[in-house]
Structure 1
Amino acid sequence: MKAKIIMLSALGVASFGLTQAANASWDSGACSGGGPAPCIEYNDGTNTYHFNGDGSHSGDWHGHPGGGDFQFTGYTDLGCSLGQFYCELTLTGDVRKFQDGNGDWRIGVRVNSGSVAQGSEGDNECSNISVGGFPWYVGDYPNDHTFGASSGMLYTGTSSVYTGNVGDIDVTYTVFGLPISLVTGGHMHEVEYHNSNSSFRFGGTRDDTIYVDGAADNDSGCSVSGDLILQNGDYLNLF
């Protein structure tokens, strides 16, 4: 039976120092409405920025408008056969829109780095856990089982929730200096991004298994559930 490891998760960001140079890849103001391409909108509680739904900025990765990456945080429940832990996880990443080989618009999410710590509510052993395999990418659900810069969620133009598969994920537990691999090159299905509270949602009522071996979808023996919520801004929405 799988044990449950709980982790506080985040998709990392830099502080929001707004200069003209720092905002070169974002436009001022909100998305103007429907268009043929995705529009990504960010608000820091005072100012609103976007990159446009008319096809401009296509293919360019966009981090936080002030520089660095976006950060999301939340308690997540990770289950593996090794044991049970309650930890703080931080992940850093950015976003883009692009057209695939068929001319369809997609939304790309790239996770650039991550770290695990005890946090204010975690277990002492959390410092033994690490995540790797970066960058991770969010690909198409349910079709993508291998991941790269061309991975992306299909843009529908009407949804406030986007669903994708995520990989490639490594999870390691280190004891007495000896690393024990829990997951190597894994991926997850049905990871959702919700505009309503700018959150990534893993598992829960959705599939929480970390799979390995690409399209073979073999169970790694680990699972993850939890919500990761934007920390360095009021919202980041996909329109």
Structure 2
Amino acid sequence: MKAKIIMLSALGVASFGLTQAANAGWEMDDCSNSPSGPAPCIEWSNGTDTYHFNGDGGHEDDWHGHPSGGDFVFQGNTVLNCPLTPELDCTLTLDGQVKKFEVDGQWHIGIRVNDSEVSGGLLCGAVDVGGFPWYLGPTNEHDVFDENSGISWPASLIGNFGNIDVTALTIPVATNTHIHDVTYDNVNTFSFDGNLYENGTEVDTGCSVVGDLQLLPSGTTLSIQ
């Protein structure tokens, strides 16, 4: 994957193109003003404008990105530490979407990462991240991460992310792997703090990823209710 440059000025456009929200499957107002039901309600806000897709089961199994179109963008400082490479302190950007879906009467939250960029220090440009899309699965999933992956709702927003490939300084340090116990604070931040394990075998690659990624632009929130 070729690294792409994320232009924060473009993300910070005041209007955010919210007139396009209907096309993105979002509805105006917050979850408290939506039809209630057993399904989770997912809400985005920038402090002035608020959009949701509601808890009555509508939009089931539909992936949603930002209300203005495109993916949600999370960015933050992360440290990649692998046996064969120096410790790399870089900025990681992840682009992703969220959905709700039902399995045997139990509602689930699905999260997928569609793209990524690694930037920052001198050696960060030599880090290539791939294997997309990545999916969030439950903490007991160590093999299959696909369109049917997700975590039960209501529950803590914590799970394993796969299918992650990492090449650093031309060395394939992780191929078809997952990371354990990624958490979301249900406001704006994903936290990574663990090693990468091979899917299916649970072989520890010895590579760890530690860091917090926050929703852009600063001050926006994405919550599940």
Shared fold by TM > 0.5? Answer: yes
Question: Which of 148, 160, 167 is matched with 1:165 structurally?
Answer: 160
Partner of 1:237: 223
Question: After the TM superposition, which segments of 4 or more aligned residues of structure 1 sit over 4 Å from their partners?
Answer: 12-15, 20-24
Question: Which of 112, 115, 122 is matched with 1:113 structurally?
Answer: 115
Q: CA deviation at 1:147?
A: 0.4
Q: CA deviation at 1:209?
A: 1.2
Give, in whole Å, the separation in 1 of the partners of 2:91 and 2:99.
27
What TM-score results when the alignment is normalised by the length of structure 2? 0.87
Partner of 2:144: 146
Q: CA deviation at 1:65?
A: 0.5
Give, in whole Å, the separation in 2 of the partners of 1:153 and 1:213.
18
Q: Secondary structure at the match of 1:124?
A: coil
CA pair 132-180 structure 1, distance change in 2 beyond 3 A:
same
Partner of 1:200: 190
Letter in 2 for 1:139: G
Partner of 1:103: 105
Q: Secondary structure at the match of 1:19?
A: helix
What TM-score results when the alignment is normalised by the length of structure 1? 0.82
Q: Does the CA contact (< 8 Å) of 2:142 and 2:178 recur in 1?
A: no
Q: CA deviation at 1:231?
A: 1.1
Q: CA deviation at 1:145?
A: 2.7
Equivalences for residues 5-154 of structure 1 within 5 A: 16-20=16-20, 23-32=23-32, 35-81=37-83, 82-100=85-103, 102-118=104-120, 123-154=121-152
Higher relative contact order (Cα pairs below 8 Å, separated by 6+ residues): 1
CA RMSD of aligned residues (A): 2.1
Q: Does the CA contact (< 8 Å) of 2:177 and 2:198 recur in 1?
A: yes
Q: CA deviation at 1:22?
A: 5.2
Give, in whole Å, the separation in 1 of the partners of 2:159 and 2:128.
23
Q: Does the CA contact (< 8 Å) of 2:97 and 2:113 recur in 1?
A: yes
Q: CA deviation at 1:24?
A: 4.5
Give, in whole Å, the separation in 2 of the partners of 1:144 and 1:38.
25
Q: CA deviation at 1:219?
A: 0.2
Q: Does the CA contact (< 8 Å) of 1:95 and 1:108 recur in 2?
A: yes
Question: Which of 216, 219, 226 is matched with 2:204 structurally?
Answer: 219
Partner of 1:3: none
Q: CA deviation at 1:72?
A: 1.1
Letter in 2 for 1:238: I
Q: CA deviation at 1:40?
A: 0.4
Give, in whole Å, the separation in 2 of the partners of 1:213 and 1:42.
32
